[in-house]
Amino acid sequence: MPDLASFNDAVQMPALYHSSLGDLKDGQLLLNTLGLPVPNSGNFAVVYQIQHRDKKHALRCFIHPAPDQEERFKHIADHLKRRPCRYFVDFQFHPQGLKVGGQWQALMTMEWRDGVPLERHITSLLDNSDGLLHLAGQWIDMFDHLRTLDVAHGDIHPDNVIVHDGELYLIDYDAIYIPALQGRAIQEVGQRNFQHPQRNGSHYGLNMDHFPAWVIYYTLILLSIEPGLWKRYQGGDQKLLFTAEDYKNPDQSLLFGELEQSSHPLFKLIARKMKAMLQSEFADLPALSHAIVRAGGLPTQPQAPSDWWRDHQVESVAQPTQTWLKKR
């Protein structure tokens, strides 16, 4: 595969855009102050922004080969055409997209989604516990919705979630699963700080998002109670609070230790539920849904946390106090 510098060079030359990209060759590529294209890169792709008329697009170039890509994206696009999902942006796969070093390279054109990645949105809400709880409610809504459409994203982590005007959007579609792809394996196994330690390439199915969905839901609840956790555990783009190390050795984990020893009943409850998931087989992980959250004795919207508290007695806590709800 060509390297990043070769993509940077090629993307600046409209003559190297395949005709299937249409008018995009006449677009305005986003450049930095030195006049060079701005590459957004993760592990699998390098993404450029190009504006044509008043619309921004993403040119997503692949930096690793993936043999059945074209067929997979065709199935995914067909599925989403029949069952549109408001959390995804429009995209189109081009088997021949950009000529780099004399060879056609595949690329994906996508609607460019302005906004901020989830971790930045969380940072902006650290002093707003109601805002974090509202976000937790939206987070559950998203997975309830994806489930009704028989879609799993496959690589849920904060940089693959963009928040725009208070709404959540998912980007990075390489690991999407839909039932037409049953029986295939996939190279990507997701960002490890958000994945169950057992997850491997054979776990390509509708339950791939269950574990990261819970991890991020629990993180939002914890931060709504104790925002100081963010600094203490160095929340950022690669991890929020929990890490792959915590999943591997929960009994040695500082974070699990703090949650278990805390006087907050919800902290203890979350530690217990996370540990139970870590001990569970991958196939048995529960989905994140409003119904399960409520049945599990955790807060969910539209229930206010204080109502949740009135309605629930958390096991093993004799005299719960309500002070944590009004802490700040």
Query: Taking CB under 6 A as the rule, does residue 58 contact ligand ADP?
Result: yes
Structure tokens at 46: 């390098």
Contact mark string toward ligand ADP, 101..120, x via CB under 6 A? ---------x-xx-------
CA atoms within 13 A on the CB side of 71: 6
User: Applying CB under 5 A, what is the total number of residues that bind Mg ion?
Assistant: 3
Do 112 and 56 touch, CB atoms closer than 8 A?
yes
Out of 105, 109, 160, 195, the residue judged to bind Mg ion by CB under 5 A: 160
Interface with ligand ADP (CB under 6 A), residue from 45, 142, 168, 288: 45
The residues with which 49 forms a beta bridge, in sequence order, are 58
Specify the 3-state DSSP secondary structure of 10: helix
Instruction: Report the residue number, 77 or 325, with the smaller CB distance to ligand ADP.
Output: 77
- Nearer Cβ to ligand ADP, position 49 or 129? 49
CB of 204 to ligand ADP, least distance (A): 16
Output the residue with the shortest Cβ distance to ligand ADP. 42
CA distance 264 to 261: 9
Whichever of 107 and 229 has its CB closer to ligand ADP, that residue is 107
Cβ nearer to ligand ADP, comparing 41 with 202: 41
Q: In whole angstroms, how far apart are CA 44 and each of 65, 157, 162, 182, 262? A: 9, 14, 18, 22, 39
Query: 166, 137 in Cβ contact below 8 A?
Result: no
Query: How remote is the C-alpha of 213 from its chain's centroid?
Result: 8
47 binds ligand ADP (CB under 6 A): yes
Residue 174 lies near Mg ion (rule: CB under 5 A): no
273 binds ligand ADP (CB under 6 A): no
In this structure, what are the phi and psi dihedrals at residue 46, rounded to the nearest 5 degrees? Answer: -120, 130
Binding characters for ligand ADP, 188-227, by CB under 6 A (x = yes) = ----------------------------------------
The distance of closest approach from Cβ of residue 43 to Mg ion in the complex, given in angstroms and rounded to an integer, is: 7
As given in the structure block, the two tokens for residue 281 are 């087989």
Q: Applying CB under 5 A, which of residues 9, 42, 206, 317 lies at the interface with Mg ion? A: 42
The H-or-E segment that residue 109 falls in is strand 103-111
Q: What would the two tokens of residue 300 be?
A: 């969910």
Distance CA 66, CA 181 (A): 15
302 prior amide bond cis, ω within 30: yes
Angle at 283 between CA 282 and CA 288, to 5 degrees: 85
Helices (H) and strands (E) in the chain, counts: 11, 9
Query: Is residue 262 part of the contact set for ligand ADP (CB under 6 A)?
Result: no
Q: What are phi and psi of 221, to 5 degrees?
A: -65, -45
Give the footprint of ligand ADP on residues 132-191 (CB under 6 A). 159-160, 171-172, 174
Contact between 258 and ligand ADP (CB under 6 A)?
no
Say how far apart CA 133 and CA 97 lie, in whole Å: 42
Q: How far is the CB of 34 from Mg ion (least distance, A)?
A: 25
As measured in angstroms, the least distance from the Cβ of 263 to ligand ADP is 38
Shortest Cβ distance from residue 327 to ligand ADP (Å)?
33
Residue from 39, 76, 109, 172 binding Mg ion (CB under 5 A): 172
Cross-strand pairs, 104: 99
Decide: is 44 part of the binding site for ligand ADP (CB under 6 A): yes
Q: Which is nearer to ligand ADP, 47 or 221 (CB)?
A: 47
Q: How many residues bind ligand ADP (CB under 6 A)?
A: 18
Interface positions with ligand ADP (CB under 6 A): 40-45, 47, 58, 60, 89, 110, 112-113, 159-160, 171-172, 174
Interface positions with Mg ion (CB under 5 A): 42, 160, 172
